[in-house]
Amino acid sequence: MKEGGRTGIILAGIVGGALLGGVFAWLSSARTDEDGETALETIGPSEYFQLGIGVLTLARQFQSLLQRKL
């Protein structure tokens, strides 16, 4: 793969990830429960850890998919 094409793919991934993260943050901060707490205030450290593991698993599966296509 050309170096310029790889750079474009990486930049597209960065921009896409930033936009997706921003949308998720906006949606989760806009919701409140009956006590007036936002959804982000009710999430504990274990949920953040599970979310991080899920993102890493998704990245690993995506990389595996790309390797099979080559």
SS (H, E, C) the chain: CCHHHHHHHHHHHHHHHHHHHHHHHHHHHHCECCCCCEHHHHCCHHHHHHHHHHHHHHHHHHHHHHHHHC
pLDDT value, residue 3: 67
* pLDDT tens-digit readout, 14-41: 998 899 888 888 877 777 777 777 777 7
The more confidently predicted of residues 1 and 19 is 19
**Which residues lie below 8 Å from residue 25, measured CB to CB, with a gap of 6+?**
40
pLDDT value, residue 38: 73
pLDDT value, residue 1: 53
At 5, the pLDDT band (50, 70, 90 cuts) reads: confident
CA distance linking residue 43 with residue 40, whole number of Å: 5
